[in-house]
Chains A and B, each alone.
Chain A
Amino acid sequence: MTTTKLGLDGKVYVSTTRHDDGGSITWSEFDLVESVEHEQSKAEATARNRSSKFAKTAGGTRQVSYTLSATYDASDAVITLLQTAYNSDTVIALAVMDGDITTTGEKGFYMDVEVVSAPKPEDLDEIDSIQFKVVPAIKSTFEPTPVTIA
């Protein structure tokens, strides 16, 4: 059996309770998401000197962000939550998972994030969509954490 994953299997969850609040988080699924773009990279610090013929590199700070592209529904609770978080600079909790967050073995990322952009383009002959870009929040003490559901 293989464990390949389809984008369709992935799930995104949000909560207004942040990880560093200390309280219990209650997730709501963001099921209007169409695609999830993920930035995951390290800054590269490179040394070149006469001790080696090779430039050698050490990984520096990590850059992580998600861009969640979704169908726009003005009455959807999660869309409203994300728009409110954007407008009020509020930190929220985010879980981006390979599959259902209640299924043992599924992997993903927990983080506290701030929504830094939320454009809602309106094309004449398209159903409205909205894109939320989220990044780790400096206002939270919680470090972005890879998790596996037990």
Chain B
Amino acid sequence: MKIMKSRLRRPDGTFAEITAKVSEKPKKTQAEKDAEVAAQFEANLKNQEPKQAGDR
């Protein structure tokens, strides 16, 4: 979570402090990306396995 600070100048000359939150998507590491690809590959292989006769 990133925080951005600023302030507002009101018409009467006073100031109000502002804190805004910015949602940041966490970045994936290369190892996490590799693990995702491997898991997807395994899942695809399973889907391609011949069905058992009893499955019908």
Contacts and interface: CB of A to CB of B under 8 A. Distances in A.
B20 A24 contact: no
B9 A28 contact: yes
Nearest to B17: A102
Contacts of B7: 24-27
Nearest to A108: B20
Contact of A147 (B9, B17, B21): B21
A13 B20 contact: no
Nearest to A23: B6
B22 interface: yes
Main secondary structure of the interface of B (DSSP, over half): strand
Contacts of B19: 149-150
A27 B8 contact: yes
Interface of A: 13, 15, 24-29, 101-102, 110, 145-150
Contacts of A26: 6-9, 15
B20 A150 contact: yes
19 contacts: A24-B6, A24-B7, A25-B7, A26-B6, A26-B7, A27-B6, A29-B11, A101-B8, A102-B8, A102-B16, A110-B4, A146-B23, A147-B20, A147-B21, A147-B22, A148-B20, A149-B18, A149-B20, A150-B21
Contacts of B18: 27, 101-102, 149
Given A26-B15, A102-B16, A150-B3, A13 B22 contact: no
A146 B23 CA distance: 8
Nearest to A106: B20
A23 B37 CA distance: 42
